[in-house]
């Protein structure tokens, strides 16, 4: 399944709904459940919550109900239930970030090819010995999340903005002290992740021995959907980054020094992982401009694509102009 959050038009303003992306359609989960006589599971976005996050937190049984109801709606061709639209043509709704405000965001650094390229490019002196022993990470800013077709801000404090091609694992089932052998059942699915980075400021922040900080906190993009593990092969799926239509990065996630399962085991030792937590892979090899000394420009369109997930497309804003979202998620809370 491919879970999405989409903007559905309502009198006066759009509302955000949880859906399932199918072949050319988006199925409204709660409306599909109601059409079969069930009680809504995702709830309303009017109270400031995310419908999809509410559904994920409801657990495995809720997800199975959602799967059965949406598959039934498509098979039966149930487009409406009274005034409620169950099935939308995909081209008539706007997808936003599947989790407009994730529960948390941790980004790891587990692809050795990326690090080796950074050494070659002179971005770092060497790979620290401890990297081979600890899946270290930084924590991102869940209040600055962008989705498909949003304009991502170019911060006024940087002259070198960069994209980063990554995959996120999305936690669906909470847990603490989770073994790697058991970790797979805690993963709801995967999504694309663009870890935007202000490279010149990043070098300054991290020279102090801490960070990254505001060199990354200004924005992260995720989407366009969260795809369940049965429909996505994270090890062999083709990944690509295009800048104004030109391929800059191409390949697969490849060998992770620590798997997502090992990342979960390490991180959950003395803290609970919760539904809606995002765990980033770190940049894939040659998955950012800095590795190649190629730099994006104001106004360019950055597209990340993953086989089985889709395309996460963003335009880069003018320096210092601030964000422009297709749908003002904040105004809907």
- Radius of gyration of the chain measured on its C-alpha atoms: 20
**Within its chain, how far is the Cα of 308 from the centroid?**
14
CA nearest to 43, candidates 26, 66, 60, 67:
66
- Higher-confidence position of 228 and 13: 228
- 122-145 mean pLDDT: 93
Element (H, E) at 166: strand 165-171
User: How many CA atoms within 13 Å lie on the side-chain side of 3?
Assistant: 29
Q: Domains of the chain, with CATH numbers? A: 2-96 (2.30.30), 104-328 (3.90.850.10)
For residue 228, give every residue at least 6 positions away whose Cβ sits within 8 Å of its Cβ, in sequence order, or none: 1, 2, 3, 188, 189
- SS3 (DSSP) at 319: strand
Choose among 242, 253, 248: nearest CA to 308. Answer: 253
- The residue written with tokens 């950074």 in the block is 118
Query: Using CA atoms, how far apart are residues 43 and 55, in angstroms rounded to an integer?
Result: 8
Confidence of residue 322 (pLDDT cuts 50, 70, 90): confident
Out of 25-29, 83-87, 154-158, 267-271, least confident range: 83-87
Mean pLDDT of 268-291: 96
Half-sphere exposure of residue 286, counting CA atoms within 13 Å on the CB side? Answer: 12
CB of 102 within 8 A of CB of 193? no
Digit-coded pLDDT (tens) for 18-56: 999 999 999 999 999 999 888 888 765 444 458 999 999
Q: Is there a cis peptide before residue 212, judged by omega within 30 degrees of 0? A: yes
pLDDT tens-digit series, residues 2-23:
999 999 766 556 789 999 999 9
pTM of the model: 0.94
Q: How many CB atoms lie within 10 A of CB 81?
A: 15
Tens digit of pLDDT for each residue in 298-313? Answer: 999 999 999 999 999 9
pLDDT at site 79: 85
At residue 78, φ and ψ (nearest 5 deg) are -80, 95
Mean pLDDT of 92-114: 94
CA-CA distances (angstroms) from residue 183 to 34, 37, 95, 312?
33, 34, 29, 27
Which residue in 234, 195, 190 sits closest to 98, CA to CA?
A: 190
pLDDT for the residue 84 = 86
Length of the chain, in residues: 333
Q: Half-sphere exposure of 253 toward its Cβ, with a 13 Å CA cutoff?
A: 27
CA 99 to chain centre: 8
The listed range with the strongest mean pLDDT (44-48, 291-295, 325-329) is 291-295
Q: Give dist(CA 231, CA 307) in Å, integer.
A: 10
Q: Are 276 and 56 in contact (CB under 8 A)?
A: yes
* Percent over 70 (pLDDT), the chain: 95
Q: What sections of 121-239 are H helices per DSSP?
A: 199-206, 214-217
Q: How many helices (H) and strands (E) does the chain have?
A: 8, 21
Contact, 156 vs 284, CB < 8 A?
no
pLDDT for 46 equals 44
């Amino acid at each position: 399944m491919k879970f999405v959050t989409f903007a559905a038009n309502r009198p006066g303003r759009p509302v955000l709904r949880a859906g399932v992306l199918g072949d050319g359609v988006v199925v409204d989960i709660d409306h599909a459940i109601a059409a079969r006589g069930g009680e809504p599971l995702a709830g309303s976005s009017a109270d400031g919550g995310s419908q999809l996050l509410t559904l994920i937190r409801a657990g495995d049984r809720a997800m199975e109900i959602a799967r059965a109801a949406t598959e039934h709606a498509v098979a039966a061709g149930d487009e409406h239930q009274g005034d409620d639209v169950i099935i939308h043509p995909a081209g008539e709704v706007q997808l936003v970030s599947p989790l407009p405000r994730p529960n948390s965001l941790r980004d790891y650094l587990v692809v050795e090819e990326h690090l080796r390229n950074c050494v070659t490019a002179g971005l770092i002196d060497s790979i620290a010995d401890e990297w081979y022993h600890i899946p270290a990470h930084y924590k991102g800013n869940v209040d600055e999340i962008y989705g498909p077709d949003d304009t991502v801000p170019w911060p006024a404090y940087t002259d070198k903005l960069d994209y980063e091609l990554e995959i996120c694992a999305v936690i669906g089932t909470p847990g603490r002290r989770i073994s790697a052998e058991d970790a797979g059942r805690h993963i709801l699915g995967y999504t694309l992740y663009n870890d935007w980075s202000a490279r010149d400021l990043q070098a300054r922040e991290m020279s102090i021995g801490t960070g990254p900080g505001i060199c990354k906190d200004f924005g992260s993009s995720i989407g366009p959907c969260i795809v369940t593990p049965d429909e996505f092969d994270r090890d062999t799926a083709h990944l690509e980054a295009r800048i104004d239509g030109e391929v800059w990065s191409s390949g697969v996630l490849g060998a992770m020094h620590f798997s997502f399962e090992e990342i979960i085991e390490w991180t959950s030792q003395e803290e609970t992982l919760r539904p809606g937590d995002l765990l980033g892979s770190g940049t894939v090899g040659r998955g950012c401009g800095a590795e190649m000394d190629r730099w994006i420009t104001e106004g360019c369109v950055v597209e990340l694509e993953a086989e089985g997930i889709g395309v996460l497309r963003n335009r880069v804003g003018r320096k210092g102009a601030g964000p422009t979202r297709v749908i003002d998620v904040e105004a809907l809370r």
